């Protein structure tokens, strides 16, 4: 993008752990930015820190934006801020592009796109992977589904928030890939938790077990990221267990063929959630594994 | 090791896909080498290529060796060549060190060590990870269980075959760590196979799915190594499915707490084995996943 091309005006909805960091990168990238958040004080604090404006409603935000980015918790929230009373659709001009970075599953993405269509608003589903530190660094992986021309229009915005930005196919396919990825992550984390407990129960040196797995066929990103927190039972949230449980359920709902590893992860995440670990990092899936065998690492 | 220290004389038993490459690295490292193999012609061909001698039996091999390395298929074979008729124990002098690199499980390692003990022979269990290419490069991971003084005695031999060589604890703990690692690998491979089939069934671009997973939380060594062979149904063996099935079963036998992910892998590997894929690479675990859902990637 050359300096002569004016940057699109961005409206950003959802300033949580991820959204606040993503929006900060848009502000740092020079995009004119208007924000809205369900809790007004959060939006005002963000705007003061990042030279952004605060809108009084999603409709007002849409009125001053070329592209609206949403980063909220689930499909109901996306539907509410885009299509509900005082929602984006009620304030937008035709030609507005919505980029939803939330994880809501392919069915909700299709349903919301169908609701936006009569307003002349296009949707890209562009869920992200990578937790808060990568959101802060602008190094998220972003998998976008939608029409090629919409992806081209939103590309500069996505590039400001992510490092690997892929147009993966038509609308909804970003969602499908995201929830499969997260289900694999959850399954691999469950496997790590079980392996650590088996090793601990056998009395082997867990440093050696982890070192051997790291060096070869047993390695995974989940081993690298979660074995340490599991061993110290430090579940400071990078990605909340309740959110991972939601994503795995979306995947199981969408899957047309059995996904037994994801089902096993769903079972264990649900148990850990019921044990009270929903607000903790999903490394707390270990708690369900420990509970089942009545052993602790 | 300085040039004034004479290298120990090595007897190597088991010149299969892995053993032949490991023994070749010992020969290349200058260790005086005597080999024995159940099929004599294999031993003779190896000896001609690598300046080694061929022994007429494990007992004869032991008679001219300071350290005996075994790399065979299972515990029964290790027991046979070490403790059977014309076995190593019948030809060895007290003080011989045996290094078993086979994967036999901790119970068999303990049993064999107990059988060697009256002969004054010590045992290290030193299973390896990494397939044929890493055996050829001398870059295996080797996890050794046994007494510290035995590990020190065998260290130069292990270093000639592996890159990461760890003394992980007492006798048997190398085995325990190995079979946990392989079970994690099998479980992760099963998860990859299921994820690919779910994605394929949903019609998403598998290049994008794999790229997203590789970039983040869904990544694993199994994804990197096996997604390609799975997608092309190319099961040229790097590590045979029947051997992986054996290792996972050893782990389930040894585990004192539930290891559900390994059990799921055992189920799928057994099904693939029954479908005739035992001699193929364990990436053929995909065949069981496909069979269950009656879909092909």
- Cβ of A166 and B202 within 8 Å? no
Is A166 within 8 Å of B292 when comparing Cβ atoms?
no
Q: Cβ–Cβ contacts within 10 Å for residue A140, how many?
A: 28
CB contacts, 8 Å: B255 with chain A: 198, 201-202
What ipTM was estimated for this complex? 0.95
Predicted confidence band at A223 (pLDDT cuts at 50, 70, 90)? very high
Packed helices A206-214 and A221-232: angle between N→C axes, nearest 10 degrees: 170
- Is the model's pLDDT at A199 over the cut of 80? yes
CATH architecture under which domain B177-293 falls: Orthogonal Bundle (1.10)
On the question of pLDDT at A4 being above 70, the answer is: no
Any A CB within 8 A of B190 CB: yes
With a CB-CB cutoff of 8 Å, which residues 197-236 of chain B face chain A? 197-199, 201-205, 208-209, 211-213, 215-223, 225
Q: Which of B129, B201, B209 sits opposite A217 (nearest CB)?
A: B129
Mutate which of A164, A218, A227, A255 to test chain B, going by most B C-beta atoms within 10 A?
Answer: A218
* Alpha-carbon distance B72 to nearest alpha carbon in chain A (angstroms): 20
Per-residue pLDDT reduced to its tens digit, B105-117: 999 999 999 999 9
Whether residue B133 lies within 8 A of chain A, CB to CB, comes out as: no
How far away is chain B from the Cα of A227, in angstroms, using its nearest Cα? 13
The predicted-structure confidence for B272-285, as pLDDT tens digits, reads as follows 999 999 999 999 99
Phi first, then psi, for residue B19 (nearest 5°) are: -60, -40
Given a cut of 60, whether residue A2 has pLDDT beyond it is no
pLDDT 10s digits, A35-68: 999 999 999 999 999 999 999 999 999 999 999 9
> Which residues of chain B are within 8 Å of residue A223 when distances are taken between CB atoms?
184
Q: Does A177 touch chain B (CB under 8 A)?
A: yes
Taking every pair of Cα atoms in chain A, the longest distance, rounded to a whole number of angstroms, is 66
Query: Residue B1's pLDDT band (boundaries 50, 70, 90)?
Result: very low
pLDDT in tens, B226-255: 999 999 999 999 889 999 999 999 999 999
Residue B292 is encoded by which pair of tokens?
């269950």
When pLDDT is cut at 50, 70 and 90, the band that residue A1 belongs to is: very low
**Which pLDDT score, from 0 to 100, does residue A186 have?**
98
Per-residue confidence (pLDDT) for residue A163, from 0 to 100:
96
Question: Are residues B199 and A177, on separate chains, in Cβ contact within 8 Å?
Answer: yes
The mean per-residue pLDDT over the stretch B17-43 comes to 97
The whole-chain average pLDDT of chain A stands at: 96
When pLDDT is averaged across residues A114-118 and rounded to a whole number, the result is 98
Find chain B residues with C-beta within 8 A of A182's C-beta.
Answer: 217-218
- Report pLDDT for B132: 87
- Give the pLDDT score at A3: 53
Cβ-Cβ pairs closer than 8 A, A with B, add up to 226
Encode B143-163: b = buried (16+ Cβ within 10 Å), e = exposed.
bbbbeeebbebbebbbebbbe
pLDDT attached to residue B4: 59
Asked if B204 and A177 come within 8 Å (Cβ–Cβ), the reply is yes
Residue A120 above 80 pLDDT?
Answer: yes
User: Is A246 a catalytic site residue?
Assistant: no
Residue A226 pLDDT grade (very low, low, confident, very high; cuts 50, 70, 90): very high
For residue A237, give how far its alpha carbon lies from the nearest alpha carbon of chain B (Å): 15
Q: Where are the domains of chain B?
A: 10-170, 177-293
**A185 close contact with B: CB closer than 8 A:** yes
E strand or H helix at A99: strand A97-100
CA–CA separation, B86 and B90 (whole Å): 6
Q: Considering only alpha carbons, which residue of chain B is nearest residue A190?
A: B261
Q: Is the CB of A141 less than 8 angstroms away from the CB of B212?
A: yes
CATH homologous superfamily of A10-170 equals: NAD(P)-binding Rossmann-like Domain (3.40.50.720)
Instruction: Quickly state the pLDDT bin for B131 (edges 50, 70, 90).
Output: confident
CA pair distance A82, A79, nearest whole angstrom: 5
Residues of B in contact with A164 (CB under 8 A): 211-212, 215
For A181, the closest of B194, B205, B216 (CB atoms) is B216
CB A51 within 8 A of CB A20: no
Q: What is the pTM of this model?
A: 0.95
In chain B, what's the furthest Cα-to-Cα distance?
66
User: What average pLDDT does the structure give for chain B?
Assistant: 96
The confidence score (pLDDT) of residue A131 equals 82
Chain B residues close to A137, C-beta within 8 Å: none
Q: Are B8 and B157 in contact (CB under 8 A)?
A: yes
Percentage, residues of chain A above pLDDT 70: 99
| Residues of chain A positioned with their CB less than 8 A from the CB of B211 | 164, 166
| Options A178, A226, A240, A246, the catalytic residue | A178
Could you say which of A143, A222, A255 has the minimum Cβ distance to residue B208? A143
The percent of residues above 90 in pLDDT, for chain A, comes to: 95
Distance from CA of A293 to the nearest CA of B (A): 6
Q: Are strands B10-13 and B67-70 parallel, antiparallel or unpaired?
A: parallel
State the Cα torsion B171-B176-B182-B187 to the nearest 10°.
180
């Amino acid at each position: 993008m050359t300096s002569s091309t004016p940057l699109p005006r961005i409206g950003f909805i959802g300033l949580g752990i991820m959204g606040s960091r993503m929006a900060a990168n848009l502000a740092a990238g020079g995009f004119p930015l208007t924000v809205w958040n369900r809790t007004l004080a959060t939006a005002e604090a963000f705007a003061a820190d990042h030279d952004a404006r605060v809108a009084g409603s999603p409709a007002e935000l849409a009125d001053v934006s070329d592209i609206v980015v949403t980063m909220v918790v689930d499909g109901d929230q996306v539907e509410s801020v885009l299509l509900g009373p005082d929602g984006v659709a009620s304030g937008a001009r035709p030609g507005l592009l919505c980029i939803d970075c939330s994880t809501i599953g392919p069915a909700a993405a299709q349903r919301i796109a169908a609701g936006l269509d009569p307003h002349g608003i296009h949707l890209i589903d562009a869920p992200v992977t990578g937790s808060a530190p990568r959101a802060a660094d602008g190094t998220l992986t972003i998998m976008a589904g939608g029409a090629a021309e919409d992806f081209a229009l939103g590309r500069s915005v996505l590039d400001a928030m992510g490092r690997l930005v892929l147009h993966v196919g038509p609308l909804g396919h970003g969602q499908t890939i995201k929830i499969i990825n997260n289900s694999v992550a959850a399954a691999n984390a469950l496997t790590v938790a079980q392996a650590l407990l088996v090793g601990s129960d056998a009395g082997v040196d867990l440093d050696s077990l982890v070192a051997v797995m790291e060096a070869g066929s047993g390695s995974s990103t989940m081993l690298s990221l979660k074995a340490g927190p599991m061993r110290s039972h430090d579940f400071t949230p990078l990605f909340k267990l309740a959110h991972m449980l939601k994503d795995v359920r979306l995947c199981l709902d969408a899957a047309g063929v059995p996904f037994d590893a994801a089902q096993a992860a769903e079972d264990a995440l649900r148990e850990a959630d019921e044990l009270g670990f929903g607000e903790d990092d999903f490394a707390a899936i270990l708690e369900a594994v420990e509970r089942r065998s009545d052993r602790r690492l």
